[in-house]
Amino acid sequence: MKEHHILLVEDDERLAEVILKSLQEKGYATSLATDGAEGLRRWQAGGIDLVITDLILPEMDGMQLSREIRAVDRRVPIIMLTALGTTDDKVEGFDAGADDYLVKPFDIRELYVRIKSLLQRASLVPEAAESNADMLRFADIRIDLQAKKAFREEQELQLTPKEFNLLRYMVEHPMRVLSREEIAKEVWGVDFDTGTNFIDVYINYLRKKVDKPFGEKLIHTRTGMGFVLERS
């Protein structure tokens, strides 16, 4: 079995020591960077299977680090650690490219669960998946899976990566009510606290871009159940 290599980018010496020791005890190879610029250099050197980064870092913060990584690699899992736990903070982190978000202080066992889930998901995604020229359609929505672009009435929708993935999932499952829990698991790929309203925030973002400029509304709320993509 392959030994997974995890890069931790953390400037808190005490926290970094705890995380590294715990990961090594679980059998993971680990590297430490104490600022964002060093983290980017270590990632660029290759061989990293998962990145754990603090949000607030010297030289380059976790948001920018995630964006730099995502500019060239959409597959490597990124977990963001931060003391900021508001919905807006989480949305910004996901939009920067993070796959998961842990608010300090956290139980190290929860970190294990997130790591295991993300590494398992990454192992199931083939390298050539993005080269599969395919198209999804619902009503007048068209999604080009190869180009990672979405259109409505042949107008390109300016979506963030997470908005694109959410719309894609809804188009893949039209006319079916999708619960917040299902969206969290299937779109973000991991189970996490859905106590905040960030799923609703993303749905609202999509409505402004997918529905508001057009005549027919396609994204609907089912009170107490979730959301559904269907024609009015």
178-210 tens-digit pLDDT: 998 889 888 877 565 545 688 899 999 999 999
Specify whether the CB–CB gap between 54 and 62 falls below 8 A. Answer: yes
**Number of domains present in the structure of the chain:** 2
31-43 tens-digit pLDDT: 999 999 999 999 8
Average pLDDT of every residue of the chain: 85
Whole-structure pTM value: 0.59
Give the SS3 label for residue 183.
helix
Amino acid at 123: S
91-125 tens-digit pLDDT: 777 878 888 888 888 889 989 988 988 888 777 54
Q: Token pair 């490597």 is at which residue? A: 76
CA within 13 Å, CB half, 108: 12
Range of the domain at 104: 5-124
Q: Are residues 14 and 117 in the same domain?
A: yes
Q: Are residues 89 and 161 in the same domain?
A: no
Closest CA to 173 of 159, 183, 163: 183
Pick 193 or 159 by higher pLDDT. Answer: 159
Q: Are residues 113 and 137 in the same domain?
A: no
Query: 230: which 2 tokens?
Result: 């269907």
Task: Among 98, 124, 150, give the residue marking a domain's end.
Answer: 124
Q: Are residues 104 and 190 in the same domain?
A: no
Here the contacts of 58-66 (C-beta below 8 Å, separation 24 or greater) are 58/11, 58/34, 59/35, 60/35, 60/36, 61/36, 62/9, 62/36, 62/93, 62/96, 62/98, 63/92, 63/93, 63/96, 64/36, 64/96, 65/9, 65/36, 65/39, 65/40, 66/93, 66/96, 66/97, 66/98
Residue 127 has pLDDT above 90, yes or no: no
